[in-house]
Amino acid sequence: MRVLFLNPPFHPRFSREQRSPAVTKSGTLYYPKWLATAAGVAIKNGHEVDLLDCPAAGCSVQGVIDRISGKNIDAVVCDTSTPSIINDINVIESLLSAKRSLHVLMVGRHVSSMPRETLAMSTALEAVAIREYEYTVRDWLEAKACGADLCGVDGLVWRKPSGEVISNSPRAPIENLDELPFVTEVYKRFLRTPDYFYGHSLWPLVVFDTSRGCPYHCSFCVYPQTFSGHKMRYRSVSNVADEFEFVAREMPEIKTVMLEDDTFIISKPRTLELAKELIRRENKLPFDANCRADIGAETELLSTLHKAGARLFCVGFESGDVEVINGMKKNNDDRRDAKYHEEAFRFVRRCRESGIMVHGCFMVGNLNETPTSMEKTLQFAKKLQPDTAQFFPIMVYPGTTAYDEAKRRNYIQIEDWNAWLTKDGLHNSVVTLPNITHEELVSFCDRARRSFYLSPSYLMYKVKQSLKDRRELQRNVKGFITLSKYLLRGSQHQEAMRSEDGSPPSTAPRPSSVGV
């Protein structure tokens, strides 16, 4: 079949695939990694594939319609997210109005968590895929191509012509990740790498995984709970090293690889084996990776990783308060919580000694948060002194225990999925705690961001870093230009949350005019 893999129009530079989908204050834009991997599987199975990332390319709904018409597309695989779901359904309805014979499959974390609720939002919707969807898309395309019954497609929830909604058998997670094509091959074929930017990484960059799954059960973390699960699955060391070599050879413009594993260092022996293989192959590509602060990484391991190319770890430090850490189930063993911050300081110190930078992620608004614990988080961030930091209000998504608990306690009183964003597409928490409103959460993050980035010691550190390394100078200038306007005016939360006449925002769906 001729199939379009679509990241649909919404806010410009809206990142659906990041853990908290939004337009970011640093200008970060994620690759459509899952969508591109599924496209690679479809190519491997003989389909005529197109891939279009509208927020990156600046493509409108009419542009998508024209592309479908021009390439005579038969089917669309459409990515979604919680804050964009109303817009995404409106986009699909527009595409189907233009071409009634189009087959559409929706994928992503929101529809994975709420498949029946999503199908109930529009009679135009035909089917959604649950969790990891590469092989579900493959089998759906095969069934559509030959007119087979969809009952045999594992991982699919779909609507019969009669209107009855059917939930097929769940699909088992992919065990042999080496079966999947290199996602970077798909990027090279369809995407412009300069369009994508991570505030903490050298630019241009590419993103891929070396594993799937995470053994930890953090209440807010969306991917393990809705997509990849808690069982670790690894690509072989040689397969990962081969993709590094592919990028170095075929994409010479790339300055950094971002490893988007849920948590990079889980198995220390395997991580060390990968590092040694990259060293053996004389890897010259720096890489960044998601990591935990309490993995107990020794200086020897970190130093070996640095020699292999490790440049920066992106770490979810979350909170400066032990009780908040305990409440979010950050550790599988509550006895570790008391030592969590001690381990965090040790990890940052060892990374610094090994030549590896740290990007710190800090979150406020967890269900046992207090104004005092929020201030502890800000002080914790400033004492840790990571290379860069982000402060964001908790974003609870369907399918997570944090969302379920917030609903149970009546902390979420907004039913409109649009409310997960401000009018400009920025993060907007919908959680109101007994002693902290969601407006106060957003305002605190604005203040914390200013306090961290505008401190004289941090500014001096960045000047020295930029003078020492031209690559870091480029990153710092590019990131700071985008971030500076938010440091000055914040998220403009009050303006975004109120209509022109000063009344509270409506919970009615906004029309999907963005990008049209």
Show me where the domains of the chain are located. 2-167, 198-497
3-state secondary structure of 257: strand
Give the CATH superfamily of 2-167: Response regulator (3.40.50.2300)
- Residue spans of alpha helices (H) in 359-492: 371-384, 401-408, 438-453, 456-468, 470-489
Exposure string of 469-493, with b = 16+ CB inside 10 Å and e = fewer, is eeebeebbeebbebbeebeeebbeb
What integer pLDDT is reported at residue 494 of this predicted model?
A: 43
What integer pLDDT is reported at residue 329 of this predicted model?
A: 87
What integer pLDDT is reported at residue 367 of this predicted model?
A: 86
Q: For residue 163, what is the DSSP state?
A: S
Q: For 198-497, which CATH class? A: alpha beta
Where are the strands (E) in 8-67, listed by range? 48-53
Nearest-5° angle of CA 237, CA 238, CA 239? 90
Residues with Cβ within 8 Å of 200's Cβ and at least 6 positions away in sequence, in order, are: 288, 312, 314, 357, 359, 387, 388, 475, 479
> Taking Cα atoms as reference points, which of 37, 78, 360, 50 lies closest to residue 208?
37
499, 506 in Cβ contact below 8 A? yes
Sign of dihedral through CA atoms 375, 380, 381, 385? positive
- List the structure tokens of 407: 């609903």
Where are the strands (E) in 241-382, listed by range? 256-259, 287-291, 310-318, 357-364
Q: For residue 278, what is the DSSP state?
A: H
- 198-497: same fold as 2-167? no
- Please provide the size of the chain in residues: 516
What integer pLDDT is reported at residue 442 of this predicted model?
A: 87
- For the chain, how are helix, strand and coil distributed in percent, rounded to 5? 45, 15, 40
What integer pLDDT is reported at residue 501 of this predicted model?
A: 37
Return the H-helix or E-strand segment holding 242: helix 237-250
What integer pLDDT is reported at residue 470 of this predicted model?
A: 75
- List the structure tokens of 225: 């709970």
What integer pLDDT is reported at residue 310 of this predicted model?
A: 97
Q: Measured between alpha carbons, how far is residue 136 from residues 156, 191, 222 in Å?
A: 7, 23, 20
Q: If the chain, 516 residues long, is cut into consecutive pieces of 10 residues, what is the mean pLDDT of each piece?
A: 97 93 88 98 97 97 98 98 97 97 97 97 96 97 94 97 95 97 98 93 95 94 93 97 98 97 94 98 97 88 97 95 90 74 94 95 92 96 92 91 93 87 88 90 91 88 80 70 63 44 35 31
